[in-house]
Amino acid sequence: MEESSTRKIYDWQSVVYDYTFGALVRKRIARAITHMNIQDGQTVLDVGIGTGGSMLAYPKHARVMGVDLSSGMLREARKKIEEENLQNITVFQGNALELPFEDSSFDHLFISHVISVVSQPELLIREAQRVAKEGAKIVILNHFLSTNRFVAMLEKWANPLCQKVGWRSDLALADIVAKTQIEIDYRYKIRSVDLWETVVTTNTKSALALA
């Protein structure tokens, strides 16, 4: 996956996203956001916010910024901000691999269905660790390569097709953890057999130094 082709794929998908993949994952997103336990006035960066399907799930007391590569996806997010009068949320176009923020800028980060879309997943996590404060929750919601060998074989086989629609199906969580030293508090699936998993982590700046 390269950012230039990804941008085009999601510009194109923006028109149908909320009725397709977006509808499928909305409840999971809302549940995952509760695991940040956002306190009054805290700041959240929603990385790859897309059409903003997450926005209604944030408490009104949260100050949320969303970044995304695709102007098409952001157009849909801005429509929702206006229609729902979400004054606590702003979105802007940018690359999650080069976040335009100083170190330790955010209380929490939400990374929903993006880590398997960017060209360098470990760089995305390092950027998240950098801009998150010490002790921040970084919540990652995504599909990861199965630990079941047969399922993993199918996922690897399907990968070229998945890449054509904008994500890769062969990303292993263990590789990300090994490369970024990210500390997992806990992880869960909402069903015993589920393609998607929520991974709740606590940011430690020492992990950034070790990686």
Ligand X SMILES: C[S@@+](CC[C@H](N)C(=O)[O-])C[C@H]1O[C@@H](n2cnc3c(N)ncnc32)[C@H](O)[C@@H]1O
Give the per-residue contact string, 104-143, with ligand X (x = CB under 6 A; - = no). --------xxx--xx-------------------------
CA angle 113/115/120 to nearest 5° reads: 155
For position 25 contacting ligand X by CB under 6 A, the verdict is yes
Q: Does 6 bind ligand X (CB under 6 A)?
A: yes
For 32, 35, 85, 106, the CA distances from 59, given in Å and listed in that order, are 13, 12, 13, 16
Q: Residue from 36, 68, 163, 169 that binds ligand X (CB under 6 A)?
A: 68
Number of residues that bind ligand X (CB under 6 A): 23
Q: Is 73 in the site for ligand X (CB under 6 A)?
A: yes
**Which residues from 27-56 bind ligand X, rule CB under 6 A?**
29, 48-50, 53
User: CB within 8 A of 106, min separation 6: which ones?
Assistant: 43, 44, 45, 65, 131, 132, 133, 136
By CB under 6 A, tell whether 3 contacts ligand X: yes
Which parts of this chain interact with ligand X (CB under 6 A)? 3, 6, 10, 22, 25, 29, 48-50, 53, 67-70, 73, 95-97, 112-114, 117-118
